[in-house]
Structure 1
Amino acid sequence: MTGTTTVVVVGGGYAGVMAANRLTSRDGVSVTLVNPRATFVERIRLHQLVGGSDDAVVAYSDVLAPAVRLTVDTVTRIDPAGRGVALAGGDNLDYDYLVYAVGSGSADPRVPGAARYAYPIAGLEEAARLRPVLDATPATAPVTVVGGGPTGIETAAELAEAGRPVTLVCGSVLGPYLHAGGRRAVARRLAALGVTVLAGPHASVTTVTADAVRLADGRELPSAVTIWTAGFGVPDLAARSGLRTDALGRLLTDETLTSVDDARIVAAGDSAAPSGLPLRMSCQAAIPLGARAADTVLSRLDGARPAPLQQLFAGQCLSLGRRGGTFQFAHRYDEAVPLHLAGRLAARLKEVVCRQTVSALADEAGKPGAYRLHRISGGPHRRELLRSRHGADVPATVARW
């Protein structure tokens, strides 16, 4: 292919930065990254921003290849037919290929009072808005964290370690991903920090007020600050642009991460739903998906068939304050196994993981094309899921290129 190929990457998170960096490995490819803020957000550290131990941001100059043009703006609409995007600032960008990596954010809580009185922390601005609220709240005032997933657990532990009285309302179960042994280790650490954990069929929130949280069994918990971490949603940009999505709004793609509607649009990260079977929302998935999306574009530029998705998981690591943690090991297809690590060793491992995610992006920026983990097989499990869903080894759309 001759001439310059223009690629627009929408979203500057883990997936978008990896994709943008990798695309610069090819001469004749011009890459523009569009992101609503001028700094890279370490989403896996947002609970530390809330707790005051980290600012959760990194300069793009530290993780983005110099050849990538950063445009600080928001894409309001994609025009697949015209191959262009409209920006909130009024400009328009044309593209030959588009990488859709808009990520995820807080879900609409749909619980009376939650939108008004609870504080979500899925994004940088949300977490930053909560920080001064906590600073202005007496240290002895009760704090309620709603949501028993990784963000809720880590936030509850971070605040409790700082001396705040915290109640974690989990809904049905604490740490749904965790194996029983890992769940017990997390529960022990939270108990040692003084966190009150409420889980079970009646531990769901029905109402949030300015100073309390009401549960399904009628209990009312005093709450000076309520933090909402239950569930994630994705931006509706794809749907607004006439592209097909799954029920949550993730862009539907085939196994090469190509939109089922347009071969010029490739998705990566939390906003992608390959074959209607999206991966777990995590940076562990986002970075390899970003590399795979870039490789799909580069394969098309070579006139070659893009390789299908492969994804290897190691497990889930949780920080439980600055001095504790749990690392839950998993099958490579992302199902937890009995093995886990706990305590200070797990805390150190979590910190290593946080640093390595940034290092992986920085390394790709310095040597585009060097990343390789997305080529390691996650085993036959996904193919078996595809076969059971589609009645064949792979969906027909995988062959389209």
Structure 2
Amino acid sequence: MTDSTDVVVIGGGYAGVMAANRLTQRADVTVTLVNPRPDFVHRVRLHQLVGGSDDAVGAYQDVLADGVRLVVDTVTRIDAAGRHVTLAAAGTLDYDYLVYAVGSGSAEPSVPGAAEFAYPIATLEEAQRLRPVLDATPATAPVTVVGAGPTGIEIAAELAEAGRTVTLVCGGVLGPYLHTRGRRAVAKRLAKLGVTVVDGSDAKVTAVTRDAVRLAHGRELPSQVTVWTAGFGVPDLAARSGLSTDAVGRLLTDETLTSVDDARIVAAGDAAAPSDLPQRMSCQTAMPQGARAADTVLSRLAGEQPDTIHQAIYAQCVSLGRQAGVYQLANRSDVAVGFHIGDRLAAGLKEIACKSIPRHLAHEAHKPGSYSLHRMPGGVTRRRLMLRAKGAEAPAAADRTA
């Protein structure tokens, strides 16, 4: 009888679920998924949870393969030498391979008063905390959203469409990723919804109080509810476990998503930093990386050299309430181009994209190995140039001790 290979996946988000499902291709692989919540969080809908149009959660039984064991707990430490993880409530779990897919959350704000008086929405619990606060706040009360990336834009539009008086403080440029034309389309829609956009050099937040947001040069905005979307952070589990991380705490890996410290540990999603050149934090990155991480483990089990990441991201969807959006096209290197789709068509495309995520995961659960978007060509040349310029391409995983 062939001995079973035990794989533990830490994190039940887009990357972790994809990796866990894909690993069930082999009958001799036992997969355990550890996640602190019993429900699957559809993170791209958290702004809808706050706005009241979606609950942003689903059942794991709808997206997770039957052969994956779900453990509802939190990993507090990884013992790479001993090949086991310590759980907060249930002892330890041994592993032969570990998939590190802990995702991301809100970055700890350095602005005085932000941690005390502002509401982040990067996690389910944060969004659920904000929802009753808004419900208890008069509709005419001023709401300030800080941060003008996709999350800030989407929550500002969602709340304005619901009749809220919203100011969006950009901290710089509105929608930095977007092309100038896409940015103009977003600004036009926000203006139609009644959102006041504060951008440019005066849009730096210097302090947050219970009822105001202070900006550079002494300007003060009244704010009964302040929503903080400026920046993401990752859990410090890897650093606390003695593994190599980048400056913000992502696990350092090579181009096969294998830890630079241990060939038995692979990473995927927001908390992975391949060759210290992490890709954009996004579901568009998380699912392909989850598939690539699983393929790396399966390749090792088959005695083959794992392939490297070479995925392309061609677009970014930004919803602007329920009735409009911007679908920003990009080239294969994830650089925005001049063409975008707007208004109702973009909103429809965004909804299709949101619905496709659990469908991809469910399809992989029922037919492991079927997902193939991580094999799409594109972005390879630019990434090689970036690696060459960095002068520190990570060694192949096969060169390290397994």
What range describes the TM-score normalised by the shorter chain of this pair?
over 0.9
Q: Is the 8 A contact 2:9 2:34 kept in 1?
A: yes
SS of 2:30's partner is: strand
Counterpart of 2:244 in structure 1 is 244
SS in 2 for 1:178: coil
Aligned partners of 2:28 and 2:367: how far apart in 1?
17
Aligned equivalents of 2:353 and 2:156: distance in 1?
20
TM (norm. structure 2) is: 0.98
Aligned equivalents of 1:285 and 1:341: distance in 2? 21
Shift of 1:211: 0.5
Answer whether contact 1:145 1:228 (CA < 8 A) is retained. Answer: yes
Conserved 8 A contact 1:308-1:398: no
Q: 1:398 to 1:6 in 2, by over 3 A?
A: closer
Paired position in structure 2 for 1:142: 142
**SS at 1:349 equivalent:** helix
CA distance in 1, matches of 2:399, 2:129: 45
> Structure 1 residues 100 and 385, CA, compared in 2 at 3 Å: closer, same or farther?
same
SS of the residue 2:187 aligns to: helix
**What is the deviation of 1:396?**
2.9
SS of structure 1 residue aligned to 2:217 = coil
Matched residues in 2 for 1:29 and 1:399: separation? Answer: 21
Length-normalised TM-score, structure 1:
0.98
Correspondence list, 1:168-187, <5 A? 168-187=168-187
Deviations for 1:73-126, whole angstroms, at most 9, x for unmatched residues?
000000000000000104200000000000000000111100000000000000
Ranges in structure 1 where 5+ consecutive residues have no aligned partner: none
User: Percent same amino acid at aligned positions?
Assistant: 72
CA contact (8 A) 2:260 2:394 kept: no
Q: Does 1:162 align with 2:140?
A: no
In the alignment, what sits opposite 1:61? 61
What is the identity, as a one-letter code, of the residue corresponding to 1:46?
A: L
Query: Using the alignment, how far apart are the partners of 1:215 and 1:347 within structure 2?
Result: 32
Give the letter for the 1:400 counterpart. Answer: D
Residue pair 1:311, 1:333 contacting (<8 A) in 2 also: no
State the AA in 2 paired with 1:192. Answer: K
Q: Distance in 2 between matches of 1:71 and 1:113?
A: 37
Q: Hey, what's the Cα distance between the residues in 2 that align with 1:85 and 1:319?
A: 39
| Unmatched tracts of structure 2, length 5 or more | none
Aligned AA for 2:46?
L
Within the alignment, does 1:305 sit opposite 2:342 as a pair? Answer: no
Give the match for residue 389 of structure 2.
Answer: 388
Residue 399 of structure 1, CA deviation: 5.5
The AA in structure 2 aligned to 1:298 is: L
Matched residue, 1:119:
119
Deviation at 1:398, TM superposition (A): 5.4
Match of 1:341 in 2: 341
Match of 1:11 in 2: 11
CA contact (8 A) 1:147 1:168 kept: yes
Partner of 2:257: 257
Match of 1:80 in 2: 80
Quote the residue 2:100 is aligned against.
100
Q: C-alpha separation between the residues in 1 aligned to 2:395 and 2:171?
A: 39
Cα root mean square deviation, aligned: 1.1
SS at match of 2:157: helix
Deviates more, 1:370-379 or 1:69-78: 370-379
Which secondary structure state, in structure 2, belongs to the residue aligned with residue 7 of structure 1?
Answer: strand
Please give the per-residue CA displacement for 1:179-223, whole angstroms capped at 9, x wherever unaligned.
000000000000000000000112011110000000012111100
Q: Would the aligned equivalents of 2:253 and 2:394 in 1 still touch at CA under 8 Å?
A: no
1:313 maps to a residue whose letter is I
SS at match of 2:396: helix
* Counterpart amino acid of residue 383 in structure 2: R
| Corresponding position: 1:397 with 2:396 | yes
Q: Are the aligned partners of 1:260 and 1:397 in contact in 2 as well (CA < 8 Å)?
A: no
Paired with 1:139 and 1:113, the residues of 2 have a C-alpha distance of 24
Q: Give the Cα separation in 2 of the matches to 1:240 and 1:143.
A: 37
Query: One-letter code of the match for 1:328?
Result: Q
**Aligned partners of 1:9, 1:374: CA distance in 2, in Å?**
19
Paired residues for 1:184-195 under 5 Å: 184-195=184-195
Structure 2 CA distance for aligned equivalents of residues 378 and 242 of structure 1: 34
Deviations 1:230-274 (A, max 9, x none): 000000000000000000100000000000000000000000000
- The separation in 2 between residues aligned to 1:395 and 1:247, in whole angstroms, is 17
What residue is the counterpart of 2:45 in the other structure? 45
1-structure distance, mates of 2:28, 2:59: 26
Match of 1:256, SS state, is coil
Specify the SS of the correspondent of 1:167: strand
Give the Cα–Cα distance (whole angstroms) in 2 for the partners of residues 396 and 262 of structure 1.
12
What is the count of residue pairs matched by the alignment? 399
Matched, 1:375 2:382: no
Aligned-partner Cα distance in 2 for 1:165–1:27: 55
Find the aligned partners of 2:375 and 2:323 in 1 and give their Cα distance: 34
Paired letter, 2:384: R
| 1:154 positional shift | 0.0
Paired amino acid for 1:362: A
Where 2:206 maps in the other structure, the secondary structure is strand
**Alpha-carbon displacement from aligned partner over 1:27-58 (angstroms, at most 9, x marks no partner):** 10000000000111111100000000000001
1:8 touches 1:31 (CA, 8 Å); kept in 2? yes
